[in-house]
Structure 1
């Protein structure tokens, strides 16, 4: 029973209990991470920090007006932004331009003599939702799109459906786009969970019919309204028909949906939140859903005769057919790889797979397997090639996506500027530079090339005020067309950001918590704080380096927050427990040992409780106390003894002794506990000699009738030292036969007329360091075996002249 109690006490010590605190916080942080968005929101901010530390392209001025740019090998050479910039506005007037300007732009790309050096595609980040005021301009643009044959247009998906007047028209436009380019059909995973878009704004049908392809231009913001990802697979939902709930109940055994055609049933609650009725719902589950609809869905009311009185009310269930629309960047990438939507394999929550991507070789006018540069070529100072570039052929491209079809965009740097002297992450050319002087219709007058072979040209707003198109990104505000460029580059360069497996984050979290628990529970608080801060910095640098070099995202905030909480919790526990222990030690030993020893005991707490140790016990007693007391009043006697006790106690403490108690005129003390002392016997002997000498000096200042004589007994041996008493009041003292022998030796001084007697056991420890006179072999009360005793005369190292090192 006693053993179990000790074990419970041990586990509550900070150095052990700190690990329990760490384990608790580890589990607590895991629960928060799995069940709330606290850490995911913080990690979004951390992602911005990692982007801020990325190595971006640099520039160097080699002479006045001449800049040399360092290009990042992870940025595709085949992405070109054509900016509707301030220069274009200056030349062509206010935005939007007449549509013949876009026609001139497209004609400048398509009208070159060497058609093999044509651009791969042209993305117009411009809306063509409504006809132009001048119909002739629309005709010119449509002819230019038809002649170019490589134009991609965008559609915008809306959360709310269009008006009933526009509903069929807008979805008919989308049908034309799908007929031209396609839609995504090979989808694995729970596509019902993808948020639905019920409205859309596609281009006019004539434009859709002339385009090569399309894609949605939507971006989803994170919780802090920053654009970090693009939904490569979006769900456009078209209403097929509506049902009364009662009518649906009657056909519950066979719900009127075909999941293979991406059909689904949906109801909306009173907070306008949509809920899909899962396919394959059993009658029992359907009955439960019906009850939920009746409780939480609003009723549709009908006044059939228009008399102001509601004639009937019912719950509405809607049937939708979902169409999965590719993002414009995904469509541009597919076209660049000579693939179509039918080639895609989509596994929600995992990846989008593009098999066997190709790339058009302009020089040989043929399609070749797609390869990217792993390492740039190395040239010496004389521009002589030392190491050729290393490339890697990609047999497939797997785009990591979440369960909603979102891809994290690997931004390559801050926003670019259209000005030739401005900073650029992607190459930017002015819209006016291409559209101002378009070639005519005579092929003989066309330029041989525009140096745009196989490039993806992205045309969009690049000036403030012409469109609400600047959006917050990890690198600050950026025009929408450049966000598209970053997303496209992420795909083309196979440069995806990947989250490490969950177990890696858990391992980092566990290691951080346990390491902090270790240092916080075993080191001084200040050093633990320094190591904590150093560890947090080291973890941050490691996470940033891994992000930069490997495109791997390791969660930082859960580990960092858990580490700080562990540190604070353990320090708080130390304050509560160790301060209590310090007070206990100070109260217990403050009256027994010197302040220096108390401080040492606080930093190195002793083993409290009864323990057996090799110790030296010391007893001293006043001789002729009765005679002395008869010559003084009780008050004078008390004051006189206090002077004596003060002097004797100070000497004991000076020699690192532990005061046990005063018993009348007797003093009991010992050496070797609570702190171990190798020379406990020598210290006791030195203390006794010092007391004898100090008492002689004190007596010289007193009249003869007040002088004090003492006897001292010293013994060494194995004694039990510990707390004796009750829970409320206890004393740190010694027990055992060696203690009794020490007390007997003190009284033996009377028989031999000596002052200090030590036992043979003490003498054995100090015989080479003291001068002693053998007195006798005596048999003390309670002992059968005689004990050899000695009179202590002096210390050879003159220890009696001052305190010894303890």
Structure 2
């Protein structure tokens, strides 16, 4: 029995870790990965709801080719590159730090002359046509803008096979490179990160690539691939920072721009697959210098720390808004030039002379000249009237001019000049006024317009005063856009200065929308500011390696193996619930505060399945133990004792064999051989069964254990397998109760036909002789003895042995000469002397 228990305990000890190991193996499957990714996504949403989004670098944002831009510009597939030219130009003028294109320019565009351009011609001759064609060479215009800006990164593509292909399969896919691609590959080789020493190059391989147009890439700040990688469920959570083509490492657009921002030459970036990407001596945004290590998997992917929903994170400039800002910048630059020229030469107040001066200075767009000059002259007249007449209203001004219904343009100019002069007067009186102070002072004015006027006036201040060249205080309005905080903002140099922007598609219905942890339809151009934000803010997310998951799950399984078998079902369930809650909290806070991606599903599966497995196994073992107890001990233990053992199967271990102090019982019917001679076999069985049943009921009621029957003799003991401190008292009282029961039994046998005739004759003869019929002798001793299961390998009995046992047998048989019914030893009598009467018989 001890060996069996030890074996079962070994199985229980192994069962938990085995469950952990099996769950770990399951965690390597795609089915498991899908479930784990769901919990990973929920961590972003819960984090942002509970703690708010992670730190977001205010300089990061996107340029959105959104639905409004497409509606304004026309079908996206028909866009010419001059549409990007205006945007790049205004961003450079406004101080944007970097612009990365998630748009690919891999082929030359076709020169197109629009109908509007032809209609605008004053004449058609060779020179005019040449000039028109030059303006229609959008690639050259875009190229020159990239040169002037000096901050443009272009995107390229690299073709990566689905799944993992070996080197031989990749070689089969490789196609001969064109001269242009060979040239691009040679450049990339010179601008490539390096592989860490002794590192295995497990970076994902590509078998083809498409670089940007040569004329554009050679003047750009750099070019790199702009692609994302899906997870098993198609969602985008990771970003490939590096691919490889043949022996060349291709950095991603995000990695190259991050290295630029941190002032780390891309050739010094070190790739260690499965560990990190090292950017040595990075110039951090806070001014410090430090090595930056970006955790990556063995394929070169980093986990993106998604900041939140698209509309709630980073700056998003609509493409068309920026293009309008470029046009506004053109008009404003001309207006500022007009103001400067007139300030330097008052005679230029004459419209005809002013137009001639501007034309001579190289301004060729006559429509633009007329529009700006008219606005300047109108604003100059309006400002003069406003300054000379305090409290002048628009109605009074137009009335004096004799204009009953001014155009909308003139009305807007008057309002802007009036409002800007109010702002200038307030700031001139007290330059320390805040924006809020101005809004309070000009509460009746439109807040957005006041903000624009304030920005313009402050930008024109020189040594705390407005120069004459700033007059009149009219400016073209800045383009408004919707920032993430919900308030209205406008595109200005202050707003754009230092921005790191990524250009890409965001319109619904385009192919560049995908599922992310934070949103079901997320524009993929937004992954780049999220990647750079993760790097620049150093808020990395690192998934624990597989070996740590294996250790964790096996350790959890071992913990269950040690604890669950020792607990009841409800207590074990409570413990499991506690482990689930504690681990869930650790996994969540590890994610939010330490950037650790701890497996969630597998450990909880280990805990729950391990608990169920151990509980079910324990239940099966307990049932087997109960069956064993019932079958092995039911024939000599009382039902009450058997029930107690089955309730507490650990007691089975006590049935092995041990020495303990307890009481041994032997009883026998005097002259039983004579009685049996008077009975047939059937009558003998009936007679002895009746006697033994009554006696055994009394023994078991006192907590005794029946050891065996030897004919009419009963061997029993008190104090095993359940130990009683009062085993001597129980045994003694049982003896007395049996003698009393024998008196009642003899009376019952005197009934008519209660005994077979031959036995009745024997009883009557003994009565005449003065001998008691069916006299029972009982020997009871207390002392040390060995008790337990004893026997052969195939059959055992729960019995006792020892000198105390032998003494009880001699007490029973030795009463023949004393004529007594109960004989006990001194150890018994000492414990019952205050409850029964006795006398000393002899020494044995």
TM-score by length of 1: 0.70
Matched, 1:234 2:221: no
Matched, 1:730 2:796: yes
Matches within 5 A, 1:36-435: 38=28, 42=32, 45-46=35-36, 48-54=38-44, 72-96=53-77, 97-112=79-94, 118-135=95-112, 136=136, 137-159=138-160, 167-173=178-184, 182-185=191-194, 187-190=196-199, 192-237=201-246, 322-358=247-283, 370-371=285-286, 393-413=288-308, 415-417=309-311, 424-435=312-323
- Indicate the larger mover: 691-700 or 573-582: 573-582
Q: Call closer, same or farther: CA 1:164–1:569 in 2, change over 3 Å.
A: closer
Which among 827, 832, 838 is matched to residue 761 of structure 1? 827
Contact (CA 8 Å) 1:585, 1:598: kept in 2 or not?
Answer: yes
SS of match in other structure, 1:54 = helix
Contact (CA 8 Å) 2:16, 2:558: kept in 1 or not?
Answer: yes
2: CA distance between counterparts of 1:729 and 1:73? 72
2:733 maps to 686
1: CA distance between counterparts of 2:717 and 2:185? 98
Measured against aligned partners, the alpha-carbon deviations of 1:523-561 in whole angstroms (never above 9, x if no partner) come to 345543543353244323312221221112334556555
1:667 maps to 714
Contact (CA 8 Å) 1:56, 1:412: kept in 2 or not?
Answer: no
1:621 maps to 668
Contact (CA 8 Å) 1:29, 1:558: kept in 2 or not?
Answer: no
2: CA distance between counterparts of 1:457 and 1:642? 101
Q: Call closer, same or farther: CA 1:571–1:197 in 2, change over 3 Å.
A: same
Contact (CA 8 Å) 1:41, 1:223: kept in 2 or not?
Answer: no
SS of match in other structure, 1:152 = strand
1: CA distance between counterparts of 2:175 and 2:731? 105
2: CA distance between counterparts of 1:52 and 1:94? 37
Structure 1: gaps spanning 5 or more residues:
61-69, 113-117, 238-321, 359-368, 372-391, 418-423, 778-785, 788-806
SS of match in other structure, 1:516 = helix
Q: Call closer, same or farther: CA 1:163–1:669 in 2, change over 3 Å.
A: closer
2: CA distance between counterparts of 1:82 and 1:523? 61
Matched, 1:514 2:553: no
SS of match in other structure, 1:357 = strand
2: CA distance between counterparts of 1:426 and 1:700? 105
Q: Call closer, same or farther: CA 1:84–1:43 in 2, change over 3 Å.
A: same
Q: Call closer, same or farther: CA 1:546–1:572 in 2, change over 3 Å.
A: same
Measured against aligned partners, the alpha-carbon deviations of 1:454-508 in whole angstroms (never above 9, x if no partner) come to 1111222222322344255575443211222221211111111234577755653
SS of match in other structure, 2:663 = strand
Q: CA deviation at 1:348?
A: 3.6
2: CA distance between counterparts of 1:548 and 1:174? 41
2: CA distance between counterparts of 1:605 and 1:636? 39
Q: CA deviation at 1:78?
A: 1.4
Which among 630, 634, 647 is matched to residue 586 of structure 1? 630
Q: CA deviation at 1:126?
A: 1.2
TM-score by length of 2: 0.67
2: CA distance between counterparts of 1:165 and 1:618? 102
2: CA distance between counterparts of 1:497 and 1:106? 33
1: CA distance between counterparts of 2:173 and 2:817? 119
Contact (CA 8 Å) 1:233, 1:324: kept in 2 or not?
Answer: yes
Measured against aligned partners, the alpha-carbon deviations of 1:19-65 in whole angstroms (never above 9, x if no partner) come to 34556667x569x76xx9816984675355134123668699xxxxx
Q: CA deviation at 1:223?
A: 4.2
Q: Call closer, same or farther: CA 1:103–1:476 in 2, change over 3 Å.
A: same
Contact (CA 8 Å) 1:661, 1:668: kept in 2 or not?
Answer: yes
Q: Call closer, same or farther: CA 1:642–1:162 in 2, change over 3 Å.
A: closer
Q: Which has a greater percent of helix?
A: 2
Q: CA deviation at 1:511?
A: 3.0
The alignment covers a number of residue pairs equal to 631
Measured against aligned partners, the alpha-carbon deviations of 1:633-688 in whole angstroms (never above 9, x if no partner) come to 54344334323322222222121110112222222211111222211111111222
Q: Call closer, same or farther: CA 1:629–1:235 in 2, change over 3 Å.
A: closer
| Aligned-CA RMSD value | 3.6
2: CA distance between counterparts of 1:474 and 1:106? 30
- Indicate the larger mover: 327-336 or 439-448: 439-448
2: CA distance between counterparts of 1:162 and 1:738? 93
Q: Call closer, same or farther: CA 1:695–1:427 in 2, change over 3 Å.
A: farther
2:385 maps to none
Contact (CA 8 Å) 2:234, 2:515: kept in 1 or not?
Answer: no
Measured against aligned partners, the alpha-carbon deviations of 1:553-604 in whole angstroms (never above 9, x if no partner) come to 3345565555566556655664665544433322221111222311322322
Matches within 5 A, 1:519-538: 519-525=563-569, 527-538=571-582
Q: Call closer, same or farther: CA 1:453–1:694 in 2, change over 3 Å.
A: farther
1:272 maps to none
2: CA distance between counterparts of 1:94 and 1:757? 116
2: CA distance between counterparts of 1:509 and 1:57? 25
2: CA distance between counterparts of 1:165 and 1:751? 120
Q: Call closer, same or farther: CA 1:174–1:747 in 2, change over 3 Å.
A: closer
Matched, 1:453 2:501: no
SS of match in other structure, 2:837 = strand
1: CA distance between counterparts of 2:317 and 2:264? 28
Q: Call closer, same or farther: CA 1:612–1:709 in 2, change over 3 Å.
A: same
Q: CA deviation at 1:156?
A: 0.6
- Indicate the larger mover: 758-767 or 576-585: 576-585
SS of match in other structure, 1:370 = coil
1: CA distance between counterparts of 2:104 and 2:679? 116
Measured against aligned partners, the alpha-carbon deviations of 1:332-375 in whole angstroms (never above 9, x if no partner) come to 212222343134233344332223333xxxxxxxxxx522xxxx
SS of match in other structure, 1:684 = helix
Which among 426, 430, 438 is matched to residue 326 of structure 2? 438
Answer 1 or 2: higher relative contact order, Cα 8 Å, separation at least 6.
2
Matched, 1:19 2:18: no
2: CA distance between counterparts of 1:543 and 1:192? 31
Q: Call closer, same or farther: CA 1:469–1:692 in 2, change over 3 Å.
A: same
Q: CA deviation at 1:776?
A: 1.5
2: CA distance between counterparts of 1:178 and 1:634? 109
